[in-house]
Structure 1
Amino acid sequence: MSFWAKLVASILVLGLFSSSVQAAEEKARRADDFVDSVGVNTHLYYNESVYYKRYNDLIKPKLVELGVRHIRDGCVYNLNGYMDRLRELKELGGIRATLVCDPRDIKVDAAVDLVKEIGTDVIEAVQATNEYNLSGNGNWASDLRNFQRQLWQGIKGDGATSGVKVYGPSLVEAGAYAALGDMSEYQDYGAMNNYMSGRNPGNSGWGSDGYGSLDWNVRSTKKASLSDPIVTTETGYHQVTSTGNGHKGVPEDIAAKYTPRLVLEQFNYGIPRTYIYEFINTYNNPGSLYMNFGLLRNDGSEKPAYKALKNLFNLLKDPGASFSPGSLDYVLSGDTEDVHHTLLQKQDGTFYLVLWLEKSGYNVDTKKWLDVPTQKVTLTLNTEISKATIYVPNDSSSMKSSQTYPKQLDIDVSDRAQVIELAGK
């Protein structure tokens, strides 16, 4: 056999034993930008709900503890102390609000006055309705176009509120955005409610067009936002696995795996803000899927997803001045199929490489858990690192393991996001 034939044969054999290699000098993104990209939906003014009844002893401290800086709520006046609560959350936790304004509930002039009264340091954005195409109004598209234009002109035309962002309407059903038409002239961001219906966050959807995937949802929303970036105003997982509704649920342990991956996948895609639905189960109704999306149970106890997000945010938060992140020279080799990652950096130069298996852990049709074996991956570091520390936020806020001056790390990647902290010299 000739030298070249032997070389080709060796390469082919090598390929049989190494499923793939990922190598690059990759530019990181700011760690705090990831933390800042996540918000939660709340219903602080619902007077018969846990949001109202237990605001002081539960909602307020648990929101601050979670570490999110953004909430999405209603565009209403000081019902049940609502406006005061929004101001207090800003003061205590730096939490700012987006208000969903519905023409059935509030006029544009009143919405502008409301934003000014609460304060533009508290209110960062307003949104022109939520799922208005389900309102029963046969003329919904035309009416919504008019309201969106008026809301934009009202907010941007007042010097006191002109800095407040305007989100476009979030709609449901595939053709709704096309029916509405391009609203780029009257919004800063388009908006979508992209629920995964119990599927894993990185699912590729159904059919040749990828129906239901993140990419499909963005493409659908873009039909009303041709030149604007897109935010997610609602997404998440409910825990009513027995529902006959097409919107499937997953058990709490699966939601705990999916939810951190969901916000990471969205961040990787370039979604600047993702609002999880929702903070707490609003009412105690175990059979209602709409009442079981919460990160907290109705009694205030933490679901595993809350703990995972809290640990992840606490590890990655890095408030302060903006900076230009550097690059990490590294190679991921071994069984890297379906291994997804996010590379982040803090102001002190420390890198954070987040790794996870983007696979389904639950069959929503058979209602059975799926086995997701770990995959062995080798991380080779060409950038000099003084210490590598591994965290698994789903398990604990404490480190899992560490190694000084590593050149290579052997990692068992699972369907739970794990964070490799890489400190420089």
Structure 2
Amino acid sequence: MKYLVFLFVFTSFSFLFCPKSQSQNAEIKQVQAVGASEFLNSIGVCSSITGRGETLQGTIDALEYTGIRFIRCGLEDDISTADMIELHRKTGAKIVYGLLSGGTDIDRLIREARELTEAGALLAIEGNNEPNNWGVAYQGEKGGENHSWLPVARLQRDLYKSVKSDPVLKNIPVWNISESGAQTDNAGLQFLIIPENAGTLMPVGTQYADFANCHNYITHPSWSGLHDNQTWLSAAPGPECPVDGLHGNYGKTWGKGFDGYSEKELQDLPRVTTETGIAAKGEITEEIQARLFLNLYLSQFKRGWSYTSVYLLRTRSNEPAHESYAFYKMDYSPKQAAHYLHNLTTILEDNGTISKPGKLRFSIKNRSETVHDLLLQKSNGKFFLVLWGEWFTGGTDKITVQLDRIFSSVKIYDPTHGESPVMRLSEAREITFFLSNHPLIIELQ
């Protein structure tokens, strides 16, 4: 049998397509797709919206361009509910609203959260931000930092009760405090609900949250620099995570080693990330940062994080040095990360929902531990197979995607090259290409 071969070469990779190849299909397996809109909804960012030098129009423009679908902010940002509702009305983006750094005003948070909910703008309510760095004073007691964490625990317990007893807010999810792993005493904040025989200072049955909350930045003082599988390992739920991740906050706390959930329980623990990212400096150029951010959102979602908020949309006027973390510079000019995210969300854009995503049979041959995949399906029925590489020490992988049948139309996208297909195929069944340190997307129809 004769084979028709197409060869397409880029500056960073090449494709080899075999439309009607009869290669071995022994490894082909059926994979369940996830709705594309579900992945897109997981993409968030930290922003003060109109506080600390940010402007409402600048924030709206940034979200419309990048496709970011939620903003994490809180009382410390001192944003009017009218501005948050207008942001939602213009962009569709939702708000995660929290007590955040040192905040204790539950009444105000509940009152403003009601307004956001009634406007359809609220995604979730969050507890304190990093009480190890920003202590609280609650009911006359200091908590967090190097003090007892019982005041932090009581505050979070009371926040949860207030939300769930409110007729407007009762169905809104509550996200836990961040950095529960830093507890100085065993207040039980490493649990969503304190179980029997936990040995905590707060009583069994105390409920803090519906979702665990971490700040698993993709670099750490003990794991600095660039690494292969940088975002994949940072998203790991178990002890193999080399950064400040789920296990160190909810498995065995990194501060005092208090026991939390088992490794098995962590796999399915509802979880979110309200801060992650990496600064562009040294060997982390803005180009590398942009590629890492794409991989980060994908790795987080694939590994079970329902929502991921990258720090930071645009740096604040009181923190100019943090511009190295941001998608946008102080003057709202986009960095490479904003351009690449725009391309990714444009390629995958889907404002509809699919109630029962389908399944696809395929295999990925010759994959190494740095190759990852996510199968998405849009509401129009099209499958999008996203593959990303995590080589950041100079390697590449030559992999082959084998499909179980011939597809009449296949498009290949590379978000580091734009939002349009870099290759179109007809009657395709097998695709071989090199994968390095960013995603490629295969559209199948």
> Do they fold alike, i.e. is TM over 0.5?
yes
1:273 corresponds to:
307
1:168 aligned partner:
176
Letter aligned with residue 32 of structure 1: S
Tell me, yes or no, if structure 1 residue 261 matches structure 2 residue 295.
yes
Amino acid at match of 1:43: S
Provide Cα deviations, 1:93-149, integer angstroms capped at 9, x if missing partner. 111101121484442122211212344422221111100122354434101110011
Distance in 1 (CA, whole Å) between partners of 2:166 and 2:235 is 43
User: How far did 1:380 drift?
Assistant: 1.7
How far 1:234 sits from its partner (Å)? 0.6
CA positional deviation for 1:396: 0.5
Aligned equivalents of 2:235 and 2:90: distance in 1? Answer: 40
- 2:374 matches 1:342: yes
What amino acid is aligned across from residue 201 of structure 1 in structure 2? Answer: T
Summarize the alignment of residues 104-123 of structure 1 with structure 2, pairs less than 5 Å apart: 104-120=102-118, 121-123=120-122
Query: Which of 250, 253, 267 does residue 284 from structure 2 map onto?
Result: 250
Identity of aligned residues (%): 26
The one of 39, 43, 66 equivalent to 2:44 is: 39
- Following superposition, the deviation at residue 394 of structure 1 comes to 1.5
Does residue 1:189 correspond to 2:211, yes or no?
yes
Name the residue aligned to 1:158. 166
Pairwise CA distance, 1:334: 3.5
Letter in 1 for 2:329: R
Matches within 5 A, 1:400-415: 400-415=422-437
- Partner SS state of residue 325, structure 2: coil
> Which residue identity is paired with 2:39?
F
Q: CA deviation at 1:418?
A: 0.6
Q: List per-residue Cα deviations over 1:251-277 (Å, max 9, x = no partner).
A: 111111111111111111111111111
Corresponding residue for 1:376? Answer: 398
| Residue in structure 2 matched with residue 128 of structure 1 by the alignment | 127
- TM-superposed CA distance for 1:46, in Å, is 2.5
Amino acid of the residue matched to residue 24 of structure 1? K
Secondary structure class of the residue paired with 1:331: strand
Q: CA RMSD in A?
A: 2.9
Q: Distance in 2 between matches of 1:179 and 1:112?
A: 24
SS in 2 for 1:139: coil
When normalised by structure 1's length, the TM-score is 0.80
Distance 1:258 1:420 in 2: 20
AA in 2 matched with 1:371: G
Query: Distance in 2 between the 1:270 and 1:211 partners?
Result: 14
Partner Cα separation in structure 1 for residue 329 and residue 319 of structure 2: 10
The answer to whether the 8 A contact 1:284-1:291 is kept is no
Q: What's 2:201 paired with? A: none
Contact 2:415-2:439 at 8 Å conserved across structures:
yes
Specify the code of the residue in structure 1 equivalent to 2:129: N
Question: Contact between 2:411 and 2:444, CA under 8 Å: does it hold in 1?
Answer: yes
Measure how far apart 1:171 and its partner are.
Answer: 0.8
Cα 1:82–1:383 shift into 2, 3 Å:
farther
How far residue 231 of structure 1 moved from its aligned partner, in angstroms, is 0.6
Structure 2 residue 35 is the aligned partner of structure 1 residue 30: yes
Distance 1:334 1:27 in 2: 21
Q: Match for residue 157 of structure 2?
A: 149
- Larger deviation, residues 298-307 vs 217-226: 217-226
Task: Read off the aligned partner of 2:271 and give its amino acid letter.
Answer: I
How far apart are residue 291 of structure 1 and its match? 3.8
| Alpha-carbon distance, 1:329 to partner | 1.4
Distance 1:411 1:389, change over 3 A: same
Letter aligned with residue 388 of structure 2: W
Does the C-alpha gap of structure 1 residues 194 and 387 become closer, same or farther in structure 2, counting only changes over 3 Å? Answer: same
CA distance in 1, matches of 2:123, 2:349: 20
Q: Give 1:180 shift.
A: 4.1
Cα deviation, residue 209, structure 1 = 4.3
Flag structure 1 segments of 5+ consecutive residues without an equivalent.
1-20, 242-248, 362-369
More helix as a share of residues? 1
Q: Which amino acid aligns with 1:233?
A: T
Cα contact 1:75–1:106 (8 A) shared by 2: no
Contact 1:132-1:140 within 8 A present in 2 as well: no
**Letter paired with 2:86:** E
How many residues were matched structurally? 376
- Structure 1's 321 and 118: CA in aligned 2 closer, same or farther, altered over 3 A? closer
Secondary structure (helix, strand or coil) at the match of 2:112 reads: helix
Q: In structure 2, the residue corresponding to 1:221 is in which secondary structure?
A: helix
Please state whether the residue corresponding to 1:151 is helix, strand or coil: helix
Q: 2:336 aligns with which of 304, 308, 313?
A: 304
Q: Which moved more, 1:104-113 or 1:88-97?
A: 104-113
Determine if contact 1:328/1:383 at 8 Å carries over to the other structure: no
Aligned pairs for 1:198-213 within 5 A: 198-199=225-226, 200-203=230-233, 209-213=239-243
TM-score, normalised to structure 2, is 0.77
Deviation string, structure 1 residues 155-210 (Cα, Å, up to 9, x no partner)? 1111122122211001175667965442422311110000011542124799x943
Distance 1:169 1:285, change over 3 A: closer
Q: Which amino acid aligns with 2:278?
A: Y
Between the aligned partners of 1:349 and 1:72, the Cα distance in structure 2 is 31
Contact 1:353 1:421 in 2 (8 A): yes
Partner of 1:234: 275
Q: Deviations over 1:21-44 (max 9, x none)?
A: 953221111111111111111012
Q: Which residue of 2 aligns with 1:393?
A: 415
The equivalent of 1:245 in structure 2 is none
Q: Deviations over 1:50-99 (max 9, x none)?
A: x14xx32x22212122112211011269x4x6322101111111111011
1:237 Cα shift? Answer: 1.3
State how far apart, in whole Å, the 1-side matches of 2:327 and 2:116 are. Answer: 27
Q: Of 328, 332, 338, which aligns to 2:364? A: 332
